[in-house]
Structure 1
């Protein structure tokens, strides 16, 4: 591990030096690429330097213990030795985590889809609650959301909603949300006070760049139609909504949330590109996924991952058997209560596989 870390150290210092060269700074593409690489290497570089300092402290303490006779100085040397060893143990673990293979999609924006499942109107209302939860979470992290498609029911629920979350690392945290979310509560329309169980399905896809997925324009059929729902007179009088059909795969992507046909087409294309990328990525990595099936589940949208029980005020994540009695906090966007333990469990599993 430490031989590789010396390479990381040399590369990081080389990048820092290159970033002072005027020719590099003036080349925007090269400059951005180096800045991105520097950001990726910096946590490893700093942890490695801290480890080396702890090693030096241990050596100094051992030297002092072998030569010193003064009782007070010997006691200080013992304390320094103990502290240096503890720091090395902690930094070794940190470096192991930092050196774990990264998901190539972790830093990407995401496209998220939420659909009401079993439970009729109650499922649609739950889907709307999840949408608000993810919006609040994005706000907390300083991310920006863009609505792509929004299909509302008469009582304020959502049959489905598709939106983009723009933010560095969005996929690295929200990828754990894919699957079936279950809610147990007494609906407002239930006069007998009986608890109903409903579901909503969440899908999280990394947003693809144009260079990731090449789409032949001849393979895409575009249909335009009048947008429905709220939006004033404009939305009903013009055919601004766009539906894109990818003929070879049959995939459909549509958007009607923007005022212009051009803007709707651009968002629909982003959605279509993300769906095509997901298919290709899954195909390429299927063998690896079968070999290293995560304890956190498959990420399949048919897999039940979490239950929100309102009568008991609890949220249970079934993948890591974690139960929190803070349902309101979670639904108000404090999702790190669940995501941080999921990331820790995922890292622990990867560490066990790498040893």
Structure 2
């Protein structure tokens, strides 16, 4: 998504030559997002131009990407609107570019709405429930940024902050360190509850910029695609719903946008009803979802700083997402009774 790995026209053309998709026309880096490198790629086959998305994985190995390929193919076959990966002439989906795993997917129709409405939230809620249920039969890895990851990365961030605290460049303030320690203790104290929640395939990163809608002013927007399934794994379905709620339905300070959360919940439950245990665990999962993205944004901020230090031009094609947004959302959820 942000561009960390650069490719020349000849390199992209050589890659495309392995497919039956026509001749290379152009490619352009996609600056949105934070973890992977993505390019829009255009080809010409006869008189027809076609558009694809080339993804280079910056933090996943080939085995992990094989898992994403299986999930993408499975979901596409189940009718879930995800960009299923494309096979080359040898029926291979996975390739290596600049020593990193890479895949090619079709560019699906739609765009990001300028303003998220309750109707968008209702549609994405229903689509998320279908996504969850469509994962039945898949062999899934446990979430590697879930309950067991938070304490590990939390300790690393606190240690890094303490190491540079005298210079004033600490990643975390004293207050944030206290909140982090307390929140991790809270989540760990609920470990048994976590693993009793209904679970299966989750998207793991279904922010509003990972969905496309076909815009129609007359009949209303229609969900066209769910993107970026590269955090998909096994975890509690309610945690995934909380991730969506924190992004689609909340302002940056964590306060709810009027009408959005009820629409999301109604959409989700029109496909799959929440259990009583899930209803009781909603506040815990909202807090967990905020914690997860506060920590991952802090880690990404470090990675981006390192990449820019090596190549200042990287700053021109890198999207930075503020960790403070999710710290504020965590604080609000900690102060709210659900």
Q: TM-score range by the shorter chain?
A: under 0.3
Could you tell me the TM-score, scaled by structure 2's length? 0.23
Could you tell me the TM-score, scaled by structure 1's length? 0.22
Indicate the structure (1 or 2) with the bigger Cα radius of gyration: 1
Higher relative contact order (CA 8 A, sep 6+): 2
Instruction: Identify the structure with the greater strand proportion.
Output: 1
